[in-house]
Amino acid sequence: MRNLWAVLARRRDYRLVLSAGLISLTGDWVLRTGLAFHVYTLTGSTLASGGLLLASFVPLVVLGSLAGVFVDRWDRRRTMIVVNLLHALVLLPLLLVKDESGLWVIYVIVLAQSCLQQFFRPAEQSLVPHLVDQQQLVTANALNSQSNDIARLTGAALGGVLAAAGGMPLLAAVDAATYLLAMGLLIGVKHRAVAVVRERTSGAVQRLKAEWVDGLRICLSSKAMRIVFVFGLVTGVGEGAMSTLFAPFVSAELGGDGTAYGLIVSAQAVGGIAGGLVAAAVGARFAAAKLWGIGAVLFGLIDLALFCYPLFYKGLTPAYVLMIAVGLPGAFVVAASMTVVQRLTDDASRGRVFGALFAAEGLAVLVGIVASGVLGEVVGIIPVLIFQGLGFTVGGLVVLARSNVLEQKAPAPALV
């Protein structure tokens, strides 16, 4: 717990960034859940609801890698402040949506917010190494992961309530308020970036292309980054399968209803919160690559147990237990893998590397969604989901086998 206290109590700037992220993420989940409820209420169409997912997902694949290039050019703190302000402004047209005729406005706003998010995530991940000591990175990344689970648990519950109580105007107002509050916290961050001198090439388009290609090159040029890149692709496909088939799995294989599905998903968030706390408390004691590998192996094995137990036992209790249990290794995977990437990359290129990794993982998730939708009908739900567990297990074993390669470090940034 000493490491946890050292980060939260003694790193003011990090504490502000963490709090800002928690507040804005909670607003995201409020809006995401509330919009899903409201759009279906307006239209009665599952196709219209699916359009929301598509509008939020496309920018990750199309813009994610390119956004990282600009993140490396700009001051990360200032980028996060501006993105939060733009998020709040973009929400204003939602106040005018009254009926189904305004559905296109909702899609445009969701699309715009997703575009903005592609700049925020690489900026945040690139800023964190400047706010804590190198040995505190696992703890800091674990706290970031935990805040996402807390935001999902609270924001998703609030979103449904607010949508029913006040409709679109209330959802927009609450989400905008969270962005403005987060922006105020980020303004209080004292860290300022040191200007980076870059080699100039002729023409803005040529420079943009060169920096974008450089981000992709870094992801593939070293053994360590190739392991990170391939792990993200394989597990991304598995996560796409999970997101597509988990509800059918609960219904068809476990015999659960909608309430059971909601409780099982909530159990995962509870496990993630507990896991994030444990990872933050003890993560700094272990090498990040080994923590990542062990977490991935355990995550995969628990998922395999979850997907296979209905073949031998009918009941929901093991699902609740296993979804809570998977939170601990899941938190280790997120915190440790982020730490490995932050240490492998130098500050001048960290944004474009994270942008490229996020975009590649997003594309992998999309492939998993499409493939699992087809294969689930052909070979069955459980065989497809087993791939997800195997992907994490095998990926974790590879990470453990190459942990010495993954523990290489780029030059450490100076704390300001």
DSSP letter, residue 194:
P
- DSSP reduced 3-state for 199: coil
Which residue, 62, 60, 54, is CA-closest to 107? 54
Structure tokens at 341: 């990437």
8 A C-beta contact, residue 352 and residue 68: yes
8 A C-beta contact, residue 372 and residue 244: yes
8 A C-beta contact, residue 299 and residue 326: yes
Residue 84's pLDDT is: 92
Residues 6+ apart with CB under 8 A from 238: 368, 387, 388, 389, 391, 392
CB atoms within 10 A of CB 299: 27
Per-residue pLDDT of the chain (416 residues; tens, 9 = 90+): 566 666 776 788 888 988 998 898 888 888 877 777 667 667 766 566 667 767 777 888 778 778 888 888 888 899 999 999 999 999 888 887 777 677 788 888 888 988 898 888 888 888 888 888 888 888 888 888 778 878 877 877 777 677 777 777 888 888 899 999 999 999 998 877 654 445 554 566 677 777 777 777 777 778 888 999 999 999 999 888 887 788 788 888 888 876 677 678 778 778 888 877 787 777 677 888 999 999 999 999 999 999 999 998 888 899 999 999 988 898 889 888 988 888 888 887 888 888 888 888 888 888 888 888 788 888 888 998 998 899 999 999 999 999 888 887 654 444 44
Residues 274-309 pLDDT 10s = 877 787 777 677 888 999 999 999 999 999 999 999
8 A C-beta contact, residue 309 and residue 261: no
Residue 139's pLDDT is: 82
Rounded to whole angstroms, the Cα distance separating 246 from 268 reads 12
Structure tokens at 52: 């929301």
